Amino acid sequence: ASLILPFLIGRVLGLDFMGSDSPLLIGLSLQAGLGAFIALYVNGYEKERKALVLLGYSFFFLSTGLCYLVGKSLWLILFWELSTISAFLLYVGGKWNDASIRSFVALVAAGGIGAFCFTFWIYASNPHAGLFFLILGLLIKSAFFGVHYWLPEAHAGAPAHASAAYSGLLVNLPLVLFSKFAVPLLPGTHYAYILIPLAGIGVLWAGITALFSKEVKKSIAYSTVENMNFLWLCLLLSALWQNSEQESLRSLSKAFGVLFLISLVHHS
């Protein structure tokens, strides 16, 4: 129910899933598909406190789904934090140890900094300052190169199903929100010119780190960082050339937009 409810709420709110709000539909659809597989896995994998873990996923899926829908409001901060705090229940099926504690703390820290940035975005009187904090919060939660350090730590001590949820679902949310709220505001700013080279470096650096990492979970985490930076690269290049006066660059913008969508589905 928590996977389907966001679609119904979106319809009640009057969102145009087949038009301007299509990125939200893609994010919710990916969450519903992968979330169903995660729920089935948990049902067969967890032996103790299965009900609590599934309850945690119910809150996690519902709150993450609502983050797609509520827009620029305090509800975003509430559901953003709820999606983070509810992850506590995902760990109760196993024993708490140093790795799992560090994992949860890293997740909470990334979510808390993101919520702090969104507060500035919502209340900033200067739209340029608001855009800066919006982009910063989204970059952190999506494990963009340079602010990605929380994700390998979160992966290292998380249960296998939670690790899949972090890689396949949680980090998708900032990308979809960026395409919805930040991309229309990028023309006339220098963010794309700064972030595109960093994303390219992130793809190369994270790929090499994943290849030589000795810990399996951290190797998977750095592979996720590599994929996320590639997605950012596609999205930023699409945004950079979307209003270009040259037809060839506008065509490239559309091509990178399609590549972003295909890669997002493949990553999830």
Dump pLDDT digits (tens) for 134-171.
999 999 988 899 888 888 888 888 887 888 888 777 88
> For residue 169, what pLDDT is reported?
79
CA distance 18 to 15: 9
CA distance 61 to 227: 22
pTM above 0.95, yes or no: no
> For residue 203, what pLDDT is reported?
93
Chain mean position to CA 4:
19
* Domain boundaries along the sequence of the chain: 5-267
Q: Which two tokens stand for residue 201?
A: 């470096």
The residue ranking higher by pLDDT, 96 or 10, is: 10
Q: What is the dihedral of CA 144, 147, 148, 149, to 10 degrees?
A: 170
What is the distance in angstroms between the CA of the first residue and the CA of the last residue of the chain?
A: 20
Neighbours of 5 (CB within 10 A): 14
Average pLDDT over residues 210-224: 84
CA distance 65 to 148: 23
CA distance 169 to 163: 10
> For residue 196, what pLDDT is reported?
93
Average pLDDT over residues 115-144: 92
Which H or E element spans position 58?
Answer: helix 50-69
Q: Per residue, what are the HEC states of 129-183? A: HHHHHHHHHHHHHCCCCCCCCHHHHHHHCCCHHHHHHHHHHHCHHHHHHHHHHHH
Which residue is it, tokens 């995902």?
90
Confidence of residue 42 (pLDDT cuts 50, 70, 90): confident
Lowest average pLDDT, out of 14-23, 71-80, 128-137, goes to: 14-23
CA distance 84 to 176: 18
Q: Which two tokens stand for residue 241?
A: 């050339």
CA distance 186 to 191: 7
In the predicted model, is pLDDT for residue 221 greater than 90? no
CA distance 53 to 91: 7
**Phi then psi for 37, rounded to 5 degrees?**
-65, -40
> For residue 204, what pLDDT is reported?
93
CA distance 249 to 44: 49
CA distances to 16, 134, 217, 248 from 174, in Å: 20, 10, 22, 29
> For residue 93, what pLDDT is reported?
67
Confidence of residue 212 (pLDDT cuts 50, 70, 90): confident
> For residue 199, what pLDDT is reported?
94
